[in-house]
Amino acid sequence: MGSQPTSSSSQQRLYFLDTDLSSPHPRRGRILSSNTDGSDLRPIIDHLPTLPDGIAVDAAAGHMYWTNMGTSLKTASGSIERANLHDGSDRTVIVPASSAVGVHTPKQITLAPRTRKLYWCDREGMKVMRANLDGSDVEVLVSTGDANNDAHRADPMRWCVGVAVDEARGFVYWTQKGPSKGNQGRILRAPLDLPQGAFPAQRWDVEVVFRDLPEPIDLELDDESQTLYWTDRGDPPAGNSLNRAAVGMGGMPQVLATRLHETIGLALDRDADLVYVTDLAGGVYKVDVKTRKKTVLFAEVGDVTGIALVQGVE
């Protein structure tokens, strides 16, 4: 997952992305880090011109991974990078902007710890994908459209955005956001590996877990309780919110926090019953799952997208 839940909040840090979407000339996106109470805010990497969106952390190896949506929504200009967690050094493009690889606008990214694989969604590419931690062996698991088809790329019903992995049970979950504020968003899942004889665009084992959501974006999974958490940037009352629902057995979505402003990223601290949430208006929030109390850590820190929670970084 993008987050690594722990019970030792004194050693935890947040890493989150500022796309600088509001200032395109020139655009200077950033990767920022702070303590979980909002103190000690520091830039780790700055001057990112290609719209950083999703972030995942490998604390044991001291690495962070992030997606760049790229410079054009019509071409395969997105990429995935890796750098040292502490100071942003040794920055490396592991999945380049390349039509051969087929990455268009990669969004949320997560790290599956057992298999040591990166999983991400590609919005205009309309895919759920994975690769090794060095970017090798890129695979397409699910394809919802033809990336060379202009009509497909423009259809938000096909856009894959958020992703979460349940390695123990062998599923990948993802969101298809649907039209802006359209109440046609869905959360789907499929087995991690394609059935024999299946193709990414012709999978018969895809399930719709939740449907008719305002506009679901990023996902986190508590695999122990089989609970999905997600952000939704659709219209109130169900949109611009943080939500959760049990997977299976008739689980119904619950709204945990509202009055967010184009909410995007989330990071789950399962042990502390906390969720950290971001929005494009520059907000970073802490939400207590039990009390539903929302605390503002930052009000206008940038145009914030992905967020990760990690322990043990000085």
pLDDT tens, residue by residue, 233-247? 999 988 999 999 999
pLDDT score recorded for residue 11: 85
Is pLDDT above 70 for 66?
Answer: yes
Q: Would you state the structure tokens that stand for residue 158, as one six-digit string? A: 């096909």
Amino acid identity of 73? Answer: L
Residue 40, burial from CB neighbour count under 10 angstroms (0-12, 13-18, 19+): exposed
pLDDT score recorded for residue 129: 97
pLDDT digits (tens, 9 = 90+) for 160-205: 999 999 999 999 999 999 999 899 999 999 999 999 989 999 999 9
The rounded percent of the chain whose pLDDT value lies above 90 is 84
pLDDT score recorded for residue 7: 39
Q: Mean of the pLDDT values across residues 300-311?
A: 95
In degrees and rounded to multiples of 5, residue 157 shows phi and psi of -65, -20
Is pLDDT above 70 for 285?
Answer: yes
First to last CA, the chain: 21
pTM for this one? 0.94
- DSSP annotation string for 97-165: S-TTTT-SSEEEEEEETTTTEEEEEETTTTEEEEEETTS-S-EEEEE-S-TT-HHHHT-GGG-EEEEEE
pLDDT score recorded for residue 245: 96
pLDDT score recorded for residue 4: 44
Is pLDDT above 80 for 67?
Answer: yes
CA distance 110 to 105: 15
Q: Mean of the pLDDT values across residues 5-14?
A: 62
Is pLDDT above 60 for 231?
Answer: yes
CA distance 215 to 182: 7
What is the torsional sign of CA 132, 136, 141, 142? Answer: positive
- For the chain, domains (ranges, CATH) are 69-303 (2.120.10.30)
Is pLDDT above 60 for 314?
Answer: no
Is 2 within 8 Å of 308 (Cβ atoms)? yes
Q: Mean of the pLDDT values across residues 73-94?
A: 92
Is pLDDT above 60 for 3?
Answer: no
Is 110 within 8 Å of 129 (Cβ atoms)? no
pLDDT score recorded for residue 26: 86
Across all residues in the chain, what is the average pLDDT? Answer: 92
Q: Would you state the structure tokens that stand for residue 305, as one six-digit string? A: 């997208």
- DSSP annotation string for 147-164: TT-HHHHT-GGG-EEEEE
Q: Mean of the pLDDT values across residues 78-103?
A: 91
pLDDT score recorded for residue 58: 96
Is pLDDT above 80 for 99?
Answer: no
pLDDT digits (tens, 9 = 90+) for 124-145: 999 999 999 999 999 999 999 9
pLDDT score recorded for residue 9: 41
pLDDT score recorded for residue 313: 59
In degrees and rounded to multiples of 5, residue 6 shows phi and psi of -145, 170
pLDDT score recorded for residue 101: 76
Q: What confidence category does residue 251 fall into, taking pLDDT thresholds of 50, 70 and 90?
A: confident
25 closest CA partner among 53, 43, 49, 51: 49
Is pLDDT above 90 for 220?
Answer: yes
pLDDT score recorded for residue 71: 82
Q: Mean of the pLDDT values across residues 64-84?
A: 90
pLDDT score recorded for residue 72: 74
pLDDT score recorded for residue 1: 44
